[in-house]
Amino acid sequence: MKQSLSIVKIGGHILDNSEAKRSFLSQFSVMDGLKLLVHGGGKSATALSQKMQLEVQMVDGRRITDAKTLEVITMVYSGQINTSIVAQLQALGCNAVGCSGADANSIQSVKRPVLDVDYGFVGDVQNVNSDYISLLLSADLTPVFSAITHNKKGQLLNTNADTIAASLAKSLADIFEVTLYYCFEKQGVLKDIDLASTLIKTIDKSLYTELLASGVISDGMLPKLQNSFDALEHQVSRVCIGQPSMLSGNSNNHTTLTL
Amino acid sequence: MKQSLSIVKIGGHILDNSEAKRSFLSQFSVMDGLKLLVHGGGKSATALSQKMQLEVQMVDGRRITDAKTLEVITMVYSGQINTSIVAQLQALGCNAVGCSGADANSIQSVKRPVLDVDYGFVGDVQNVNSDYISLLLSADLTPVFSAITHNKKGQLLNTNADTIAASLAKSLADIFEVTLYYCFEKQGVLKDIDLASTLIKTIDKSLYTELLASGVISDGMLPKLQNSFDALEHQVSRVCIGQPSMLSGNSNNHTTLTL
């Protein structure tokens, strides 16, 4: 029987709030079994860009990552946020190890091809080296991934943290029984994004198709759901979307996705 | 028989110059056997502090690390420099893994006690967890350490990279036959700091005492030599100080320290 592994993606809004961040890390640290954390960046990268008087360029809500922006993102994601999360988890008794996708070539990406928009130094995940991650997990260590990958030619690449979490989940599902948690500030997938009472507790593939057609799913949620169903179709056992309280396993106040 | 391990500390001046950095990494990547890299920061942290309009406070040539400065140092050392070195080594075929002392509690420090001067968030190394580092080395991985450690209570600490290299060397000398290399822009320990021809090729303990007494050893070199003799007295096999060319093993144009 495969050992179970929880892969948790934590969203930027929670990391931006030091109280919410502390509470999340404390819940994460007491989760039973093997676990792995993936984090993005939140507002810190934008704040530092502004301090450094770099212009933040967005197209359709997506950041354009030029060379200077990549430097800021790498400093904030892999330096400030990742290292401090690891130190906080260590203080909580969780044996964390900070990782970027460049470490042991664990997540190799390719620079996104330029079509209508040149997103700059943005990576699309190409390959996960699960050997290295398994080595850490087998030693009872908890990998903490920032959303920075590389192309194995010396170039770092800014990479979507939701996609990293799903890619790790798919790749590790060969070896472990994987549950993927998308943790953020909302209760889960909501019919009305402003009303917690409109939580959809279970979404299967046919409901997903309906929701897509009816336009209920908001822009930010779309790639999360795409990633989730992709993961489920690649042997990932379970995907849950909701607030950090779902990590305790006692709550059913979140969205569970099934095929 | 113990396996041999090279521990290389690379100085800030070399990292500040992209051509010198590239050349160093290429020499490091082709070194035979197990190896580990420790790096400091150079001028990048000062440059970023200035961009962010933080005042750089120095006492007797030592930086005072207040909370904001620690944030900048963590971003630059563990984010920008560490992650990009790992990506560059990966491109050179060296299976590098970025580390801070917080990872797997590998280097635990204590905040330097306040005596005459409050250095702020500066760490004195207390304990090295060699199990984690051995795990990486046994898997043929090359750990790359930034000069950031932690106190296991959630606090990151800015720590002298020379001391980190010596502490790792001492701790790993139980398991490996360790050579410690202090790599910088000068040829080694020079009688006249401006004259490469005054290189001292071998320094034993009695010459060290003489040099100390005669004031030949400059301020920057003092802690390096203290660290070196401390390492030699704790089972480290060899310590060499000089330019990156010494890593090839063919040059004897550097300083070798012996007891």
Domain extents for chain A?
Answer: 4-184
> Taking CB atoms and an 8 Å limit, are A156 and B87 in contact across chains?
yes
Chain A neighbors of B102, CB-CB under 8 A = 83, 86-87, 90, 96, 98
Per-residue confidence band for A50, with pLDDT thresholds at 50, 70 and 90:
confident
At residue B1, the pLDDT reads 87
- Alpha-carbon span B6 to B238, nearest angstrom: 10
Bigger pLDDT: A49 or B225? Answer: B225
Give mean pLDDT, residues B60-78: 89
- Cα separation, A57 vs A59, in Å, equals 7
Position B227 scores a pLDDT of 94
A218: which residues sit within 8 A by CB, 6+ positions away?
A: A193
- Distance CA(A130)–CA(A137), nearest Å, equals 10
CA A162 to chain centroid? 4
Q: Supply A26's token pair.
A: 């404390």
Question: What's the pLDDT at A43?
Answer: 83
Q: Is B51 exposed, middle or buried (0-12, 13-18, 19+ CB in 10 A)?
A: middle
Overall average pLDDT of the A143-149 stretch: 98
User: Looking at residue B58, what is its pLDDT?
Assistant: 80
Average pLDDT over chain B reads 93
Q: What is the mean pLDDT of residues A155-165?
A: 97
pLDDT at B60 exceeding the cut of 80: no
Closest CA to A171 of A136, A126, A128: A128
pLDDT confidence bin for B34, thresholds 50/70/90: very high
**Per-residue model confidence as pLDDT tens digits over B133-156:** 999 999 999 999 999 999 999 999
pLDDT higher than 80, residue A22: yes
Share of chain A above pLDDT 90, in %: 78
User: Beta strands A255-257 and A202-203: pairing type?
Assistant: parallel
Closest-CA distance, B4 to chain A, in angstroms, reads 21
Nearest CB partner across the interface for B135, out of A87, A90, A139: A139
**3-class state of residue B234 by DSSP:** coil
Spell out which residues of chain B touch residue A156, defining contact as CB-CB under 8 Å. Answer: 83-84, 87
Q: Is the overall model pTM greater than 0.90, yes or no? A: yes
Position B84 scores a pLDDT of 96
Q: In this model, does residue A62 exceed pLDDT 80?
A: no
| pLDDT tens digits along B199-244 | 999 999 999 999 989 888 877 788 899 999 999 999 999 999 999 9
User: B57: pLDDT confidence band, cut at 50, 70 and 90?
Assistant: confident
- pLDDT bucket at A39, cuts 50 / 70 / 90: very high
Supply the mean pLDDT for chain A: 93
The pLDDT score that the predictor gives to residue B51 is: 83
ipTM above 0.90, yes or no: yes
Give 3-state DSSP helix, strand, coil % of chain A, rounded to 5. 40, 25, 35
Residues of A with CB under 8 A from a CB of B: 48, 51-52, 71, 74-80, 82-84, 86-88, 90-91, 95-100, 102-105, 132, 135, 139, 141, 148, 150, 152-156
| Chain A hits for B135, Cβ within 8 Å | 135, 139
> Which top CATH class is B4-184?
alpha beta
Four-point Cα dihedral A226, A164, A113, A70, nearest 10: 130
Joined tokens for residue A180 = 């993927």
pLDDT for A42 equals 74
- Bridge partners, residue B52, by sequence: none
Asked if A87 lies within 8 A of B51 by C-beta distance, the reply is no
Give the nearest chain B residue to A51 (CA atoms): B52
- Comparing CA positions, the residue from A259, A74, A163 lying closest to residue B76 is A74
Please tell me the least confidently modeled range out of A84-88, B24-28, B65-69. B65-69
